[in-house]
Amino acid sequence: MNREISKKELLENDIISHYATPLDILSQTTDDYLFLLDIEKDVNRFFGDISAEFSIDIDENGTNTTDKFIAVVHPNDREVLLNDINDIRQGKKDFHNIDYRLINKNGKSVWVSCRGAVIRDLNGNPLIMIGRISREALAHMYNPLTGLFNQIKLLSDIKIELPQRKSGYIILVDIDDLSAINLTHGRAYGDDLLITIASLMEKIPSISKVYHTERNYFAGIVEVETDDNIREIYSFLCDSLSEKCTITTAALPYSSEIFSDEDTLYNALKLVMSKAKDNGRRSLKFYKDEEFKQKITSVSLLEEFQESVNNNFEGFYLNYQPQVTSSDYKLFSVEALLRYTSKSSGRIFPDEFIPLLESTKLIIPVGLWVLKTALLQCKEWRKYIRDLHISVNFSVVQLRDKNIVSDIFRVLDETDMNGDCLTIEVTESIPADGKSWFISIISELKKRNIQIAIDDFGTGYSNLGYLRDMEIDEIKIDRMFIKDIEKDTYNYRLVENTISFAKTNSIRSCCEGVETPKELAFLESSSPDIIQGYLFDKPCFPEEIYESYMDPESAKYKTRIEFLKALAEYKSQTSPITFNPKNILRDTNVGLWIIRTSHEKGINELHIDDTMETIMGIDKKLTPSECYKFWHDRIREDYAEYINENLLLITTLDKVVQLEYPWNHPTMGEVMVRSNGKLTKREDDFVIIEGYHRILSNIKTV
């Protein structure tokens, strides 16, 4: 198409009407807002109902001027936008491509991606620009609460900017104890705090960009030269927030001379943050402190790693942690855990060095070395325990390597071991978009009977239905849910439900991080298959495993047997209390439930006990999300709104709320139901409501 149009033609046909019809039609096919800017006259016409969302001052022809448009642009973004439009007006560029925030009718900022192409006249002067304003293009890149860009956008910006960067800083700001603040003052207060910090940081002139990278983390790109400048910013933030909270801040130089890529940089930032917290919160920590230089200067440590890899993995070694069967505590498997002793900085922990290995992909050769060493060790131990298993951790970086399956098979061949002795542990941080890719790896590995365990279950996004579809062999329930389980009814029920779901789907369940006999006694009432934790053993050297489990003559073996006796004694003393409320509830048809909801993650779960399952007429195992849907879909239509409103209300009250509503029972038809519930817990992104449920229609009173 010839994009050049004669001035004459334009004068004859008003340019806006010339393009209006096709744009009008096109706008019906997209959620984006299309626009046509007459550059010369500064008349802008929108297609699509932009004024429904933003309070844009538009005249009866659907047009306005740049000035009027700028009024709904976030003040911090106006300059960038105006500069770009000026460049276009002066003919300096033919394409417009910037991101900025518009303020919507509720006063919230919404990031939009705005793109346009300029059409020039025959003399080469810019005449009009046609383009689109899209919210969708950036929807996955910002945080809906603060309207700031998120971690995805930060990493993609660093990727572009880093190569040219020699100066400036990146800081990461964390609110200390946000969860506790949420608990004491309520979620709304915590949200306000996040918004306050966001706008404080945005007002600091030397911070050129602010990102809301994770729930309680803000990152800022700071255009200053010295550490002292950063200290000033930190104390300004602390002073401004002193009434409300304390903060911890990590800072590092934004320079390609120090960091090779965006992942290394962000990982280092988080490491500095975790160090800052180790020193107690309320602090500011710089990357360049000597202590860091030694430990995590990626350059020197990475060189050391590379050298180790070339040098037959010198410095790397494995510890093994037993996984025992529940109730008889036989050694079922050992988990191989990687360790590293650095020549320059001594012993370093996996939480520190694994991210570094991952960022350089060195984890791939190291991981295969781990696999081989662990398999050979298992082979040796199988002389004593015939069916011993070995569990090896694989991170997503390792699994994404295109040769991973053939490499694993090759190591099996080299060590002359069968796949069925091997369990591969994968954290559940496999992104949802990676599901099909992940499923195909699993099915490849299954060809040689390798088993798959989902590590740290409960901490990420996966739900039980997802695991059932994926043919997982084992779930490792994270220590976060096990810790103090005897005091936490929510965790207890969650673990109980997970284990029972696993059982019905023939998935093995393992409880991680069991430290006390009390925790063990509570867990065992749900009969998990496997237990792992310091209560039995910390990660050990191979000789220690041999002595404790395979050499009946050794002192360690005898100590272990003594310990098992003491444990049995303890359990018999604390065994079932005679008063069992569960039976009473069952006999009186009172079902117990927990609703776990996250608006942010779009998750609604209903966890129920066996009685509730029976009285709701559920005849097969449902996942908590399926269960929620089952319950909710059966509320009589005209009551659904009432229930939804009250569920929201409960989350703001510290009281028990009672609801009565008609519910469509699968076999009994419509019944009246009464539910009493109360908010019991707020976690970072979740609220938890607990309560009981009974059917009123069939209760016989005497």
Contact residues for ligand C2E, defined by CB under 6 A:
321, 337-338, 349-351, 354, 367, 370, 393-395, 425, 455-456, 479, 513-515, 532-534, 539
Give the residue with the Cβ less far from ligand C2E, 451 or 675: 451
Token pair for 195: 């918004």
Nearer residue to ligand C2E within complex by CB, 370 or 445: 370
- Token pair 């209300």 is found at 649
Distance between first and last Cα of the chain = 87
350 binds, among ligand C2E, Ca ion, none (CB under 5 to 8 A by kind): ligand C2E
| 472 in Cβ contact with 454 (< 8 Å) | yes
Please choose, from the candidates 689, 642, 647, the residue with its C-alpha nearest in 3D space to the C-alpha of residue 663.
642
Helix, strand, coil percent content, the chain, rounded in steps of 5: 45, 25, 30
Nearer to Ca ion, 53 or 456 (CB): 456
For β-strands 109-120 and 126-134, DSSP reports them as antiparallel
Minimum Å distance from CB 374 to ligand C2E? 8
Write down the least CB distance from residue 427 to ligand C2E, Å.
Answer: 6
- Which C-beta is closer to ligand C2E: that of 118 or that of 424? 424
Smallest distance from the beta carbon of 594 to Ca ion, in angstroms? 24
For the bound state, the minimum distance from the C-beta of residue 415 to ligand C2E, rounded and expressed in Å, comes to 16
Nearer to ligand C2E (CB atom), residue 252 or residue 454: 454
Q: Please report, as ranges, the residues that interact with Ca ion according to CB under 5 A.
A: 393, 425, 455-456, 512
- Angstrom distance (rounded) from CA 35 to CA 133: 8
36 interacts with, out of ligand C2E, Ca ion, none, CB within 5 to 8 A per kind: none
Neighbours of 12 (CB within 10 A): 9
Phi first, then psi: give them for residue 446, nearest 5 degrees.
Answer: -65, -25
Nearer to ligand C2E, 354 or 650 (CB): 354
Least distance from Ca ion to the Cβ atom of residue 235, Å:
39
Instruction: State how far the Cα of 378 lies from the Cα of 536, in Å rounded to an integer.
Output: 19
The 3 state secondary structure assigned to 428-486 is CCCCHHHHHHHHHHHHHHHCCCCEEEEEEECCCCCCHHHHHHCCCCEEEECHHHHCCHH
Provide, rounded to whole angstroms, the least separation between the CB of residue 478 and ligand C2E. 8
Closer of 218 and 353 to ligand C2E (Cβ): 353
Q: Which residue, 233 or 494, is less far from Ca ion as judged by CB?
A: 494
Cα Rg, the chain, nearest whole Å:
30
DSSP state of 54: S
Min separation Cβ 235 and ligand C2E, Å: 35
Q: Name which of 503, 563, 509, 558 is nearest 531 in CA terms.
A: 509
351 binds, among ligand C2E, Ca ion, none (CB under 5 to 8 A by kind): ligand C2E
List, in order, residues 6 or more apart from 472 with CB less than 8 Å away. Answer: 442, 452, 453, 454, 507
Least distance from Ca ion to the Cβ atom of residue 321, Å: 9
Of the pair 44, 333, the CB lying nearest Ca ion is at: 333
- Cβ–Cβ contacts within 10 Å for residue 414, how many? 11
* C-alpha closest to that of 122 among 255, 275, 6: 6
How do beta strands 508-511 and 217-222 pair? unpaired
**Minimum distance of ligand C2E from residue 474's CB (angstroms):** 12
Considering CB distances under 5 to 8 angstroms, the limit depending on partner class, which of ligand C2E, Ca ion, none binds residue 220? none
Beta bridge partners of 678: 690
Residue 655 DSSP symbol? S
Question: Which H or E run contains 97?
Answer: strand 95-103
* Residue 349 contacts which entry, ligand C2E, Ca ion, none (Cβ below 5-8 A, type-dependent): ligand C2E
Choose from ligand C2E, Ca ion, none: what does 354 bind? Cβ within 5-8 Å by kind: ligand C2E
Q: At closest approach, how far in Å is the CB of 225 from ligand C2E?
A: 38
Residue with smaller CB distance to ligand C2E, 461 or 534: 534
Shortest Cβ 538–ligand C2E spacing (Å)? 7
**Partner from ligand C2E, Ca ion, none binding residue 395, C-beta < 5-8 Å depending on class:** ligand C2E
Question: What, of ligand C2E, Ca ion, none, does residue 365 touch, CB below 5 to 8 Å by kind?
Answer: none
Nearest to ligand C2E of 370, 695 (CB atom)? 370
CB-based closest residue to Ca ion: 425
Nearer to ligand C2E, 476 or 634 (CB): 476
| Token pair belonging to 543 | 């000789």
DSSP one-letter string for 528-588:
-SEE-STTT--SB-HHHHHHHHH-TTSHHHHHHHHHHHHHHHHHHHS---S--HHHHHHHT
Instruction: Evaluate whether 691 touches 677 at the Cβ level (below 8 Å).
Output: yes
Minimum distance from residue 393 beta carbon to ligand C2E (Å): 4
Pick one of ligand C2E, Ca ion, none as the site partner of residue 497 (Cβ within 5 to 8 A by kind): none
Q: Give the one entry of Ca ion, ligand C2E, none that residue 359 binds, where binding means its C-beta sits below a cut-off of 5 to 8 angstroms depending on kind.
A: none
